[in-house]
Chains A and B, each alone.
Chain A
Amino acid sequence: MTRSRLATLTAGALGVVVLAACTPGSNTASTPAPTVSSVNTDAAKLGNVTLTIWDQEVRGGQAAQMQKLNDEFQKAYPNIKIKRVSRSFDDLKTTLRLALSGNEPPDVVEANNGRSDMGEFVKAGQLLPLDKWAEAYGWNERYPASVRQYVSYSPDGKTFGEGNLYGLPQVGEVVGIYYDKKVLADAGVTAPTTWADFETSLATLKGKNQVPLMLGNLEKWPAIHVFGTIQGRTTPADQIRELAFGRQGPTWNTPENTKAAQTLVDWVDKGYLNPGFNGEDYDPAWQAFSKGTGAYLIAGTWLQADLQKAMGENVGFMLPPGDTADAKPVATGGTGLPFSITSKSKNPDAAAAYINFITNAKASAVLATTGNLPLADTAEQQSAGLQKDVFTSFAKAVDGDGLVPYLDYATPTMPDTLGAALQDLLAKKATPEQFLATVEKDRSAFVAKNG
């Protein structure tokens, strides 16, 4: 008994010591929101500096472009030494939090745009506002407002989509519709130019015993892109933006959103989706599409390189069509992960020069040739086949101010809430009204707290 009593006592003593030591977060908390007064854009004259950069460009073309641009940067500015740390997206996400609250964080980091990452870092004063450099380097001309909104926050991190610029992305993303040309031709369908055409073609394809639309929704988030695409037809773009940025304003409980949810349920009822989609993986689903199962695939431009490789000339890509062939585009999309400068960086000017270098016109050309979708000057890049479809679609969406943010940006808990609620909706465990009520509950709870 004495031994266990001793252990209890020690544990207790230890506990008191710990509790007296510090409140969680107290070692990082006192940082005031950083400001930048003057900037220097002549990187060659910054002296010998070392830049530590954390990125998640680890796959295929992403890794290739990063390597190439880093090499070119080193050649252009031998006085700046790059120390690159590359991690997969998931690993970066889980370690970045700890790294940023440490005393020697990296100079440049790739932080996800959403509230749960960049928003939190801004709130904690860990990222520098880039507006001064944006002025000096002309970033505001490089990227239109519809792109910059994805990396803008108010200094307190509470308002997403406007305020200061906290990062600069390299690549763009847009969710559209991939189509298998052969499957469409076999069913006597031409690629639709209006939304009504698209829905008619779904019915025609079903009648010909084809799977009209492929979906692999085991991971929960893929259906968010399908729902977002439908919502873009029923709900005004401004409303979607307000919802997705988690602002005070429109609610989910509107007739337009109900119609979107109902449309999705109707598609399930009519058998437009492959059976068992809720238990199908995302990757096997698009791989099945690439092998001829399914006529359409609603997915983002990140699949372009893989699908082009697998299907060659047989695959096309379009933005979700509107009421008429020349309707204003509305499509879910945004940017790849933006590059930000940490507030404890000792060489913010060198960091800004680096970010400028990897996003300028030359960088866009490198991005395009390595199979990525550059954000700036997209339409001017050399491309062919599916890549050309993707580039022109993205340019059209950006020029037409038609990008609407991912719906799961709205609140830190929204990816979870919306994903699970959509699985419920698709499996008919929830009615469209119940689905919207669940999502609205998440939004209103957050908005009430956030202000």
Chain B
Amino acid sequence: MAYLYLLPAFLVYAAFLLYPLVRAVQISFYDWDGLTLASWVGFQNYADVLADEGLRAAFGHALVLIGFFAVLPTVVGLVLASILNRARVRGLPFFRTVVFLPQVIAMVVVAVAWRRIFAPDGGLNSLLDAVGLGSLGRAWLGDYGTALPAIGFVGTWFETGLVTILLLAGMGRINPELYEAARLDGAGPVREFLAVTLPSVRGEISVALTLTVIAALRTFDLVYVTTRGGPGTTTSVPSYEVYNRAFQLGQVGSAAAIGVCLTVLIFAISFVITRIGDRGDS
């Protein structure tokens, strides 16, 4: 009987999520241009995903982005949150808002703004000039070495706020007596952080990592607006390839296959992260 109550929600879920998902899996087994009759190719599209050097590179770029979108923000967020939490600074809500601000802005707007900052005559190069480091200036998004890190940096800037706020909330829930006990035992700030704070926010870390890793893997708007995968193919990512193949190149089957692979990858990584996070609690 209980399932009956779930039915309305399930129908919506099925119509807007399960059906498209199953349909995408189905399309991924066809060679289809989106217009004429598709032809069955079995696992050929998946074989191509593995065989295509450019696509393998795209997945590689996505993994690099995880470092910038997830790992860095978590480290920075931990430091920032414990400082904000410990110092009990006045005007904490203000700092919280400032740190969280990037999250409020649409990614497309963020991307347009950073594209101007990274431009050859943009803000970053002017700043370098002003402090006498003009020789370091370059076309950040047009340089083969810096384009991917530049995009990654935008991700770090974007996600750090979210992670910090999450961790700050987690740290707020820690019983102050724990800190007192640690201090009585003679623990310094670092020891206190490792022994009390870090284990207590394990759950929040795993949530933060899950969210940011997913954000890293599905990055599309940022790449689309800033570099369109360039220079050359140094910043192409799987989600961009999905769009490109489905809407620009008319390779809908192949696009669906990449999408399915990406979904599986995201699912696997989040699964591992939640598993590790949960183990600490039980």
User: Are A10's CB and B14's CB within 8 A?
Assistant: yes
Instruction: Give the chain A neighbours of B143 by CB distance below 8 A.
Output: 278-279
Instruction: Give the chain A neighbours of B10 by CB distance below 8 A.
Output: 10
Check: B140 CB closer than 8 A to any chain A CB: yes
Check: B85 CB closer than 8 A to any chain A CB: no
The answer to whether residues A420 and B230 also contact, given A24-B32, A100-B35, A123-B35 and a CB cut-off of 8 A, is yes
Instruction: Give the chain A neighbours of B249 by CB distance below 8 A.
Output: 116, 412-413, 416
User: Are A94's CB and B115's CB within 8 A?
Assistant: no
The answer to whether residues A23 and B30 also contact, given A100-B35, A413-B249 and a CB cut-off of 8 A, is yes
Number of B interface residues, CB 8 Å? 46
With CB as the reference atom, state the residue of chain A lying closest to B125.
A276
* B43 shortest CB reach to chain A, Å: 15
User: Are B231's CB and A278's CB within 8 A?
Assistant: yes
Checking B18, B36, B142, B248 against A123 with a beta-carbon cut-off of 8 angstroms, the contacting residue is: B36
User: Are B22's CB and A420's CB within 8 A?
Assistant: no
Checking A14, A94, A97, A279 against B119 with a beta-carbon cut-off of 8 angstroms, the contacting residue is: A279
Instruction: Give the chain A neighbours of B231 by CB distance below 8 A.
Output: 278-279, 420, 423-424, 427
Instruction: Give the chain B neighbours of A276 by CB distance below 8 A.
Output: 120, 138-139, 142
Quick one: which of B118-141 are within 8 Å of A by CB? Answer: 118-121, 138-141
With CB as the reference atom, state the residue of chain A lying closest to B226.
A218
With CB as the reference atom, state the residue of chain B lying closest to A293.
B121
User: Are A25's CB and B36's CB within 8 A?
Assistant: yes
Give the interface SS of chain B, mostly helix, strand, loop or mixed: loop
Check: B95 CB closer than 8 A to any chain A CB: no
User: Are B35's CB and A278's CB within 8 A?
Assistant: no
Instruction: Give the chain A neighbours of B253 by CB distance below 8 A.
Output: 24
Quick one: which of B81-132 are within 8 Å of A by CB? Answer: 115, 118-121
The answer to whether residues A124 and B35 also contact, given A18-B19, A116-B250, A413-B249 and a CB cut-off of 8 A, is yes
Quick one: which of A261-301 are within 8 Å of B by CB? Answer: 274-281, 284, 288
Instruction: Give the chain B neighbours of A120 by CB distance below 8 A.
Output: 33-35, 250
**In whole angstroms, what is the CA distance A45 to B96 when docked?**
71
Check: B61 CB closer than 8 A to any chain A CB: no
User: Are A93's CB and B247's CB within 8 A?
Assistant: yes
The answer to whether residues A15 and B139 also contact, given A23-B38, A24-B38, A420-B232 and a CB cut-off of 8 A, is no
Check: A29 CB closer than 8 A to any chain B CB: yes
User: Are A424's CB and B138's CB within 8 A?
Assistant: no
User: Are A14's CB and B18's CB within 8 A?
Assistant: yes
User: Are B115's CB and A281's CB within 8 A?
Assistant: yes
Binding site for B on A (CB under 8 A): 6, 10-11, 14-15, 18-19, 23-26, 28-29, 93-94, 97, 100-101, 116, 120-121, 123-124, 126, 217-220, 274-281, 284, 288, 412-413, 415-416, 419-421, 423-424, 427, 429
11 of the cross-chain contacts (CB-CB < 8 Å) are: A19-B26, A123-B33, A123-B36, A126-B35, A217-B142, A278-B230, A279-B138, A280-B119, A420-B230, A423-B232, A424-B232
Binding site for A on B (CB under 8 A): 3, 10, 14, 18-19, 22-23, 25-27, 30, 32-38, 40, 115, 118-121, 138-144, 147, 227-233, 244, 247-250, 252-253
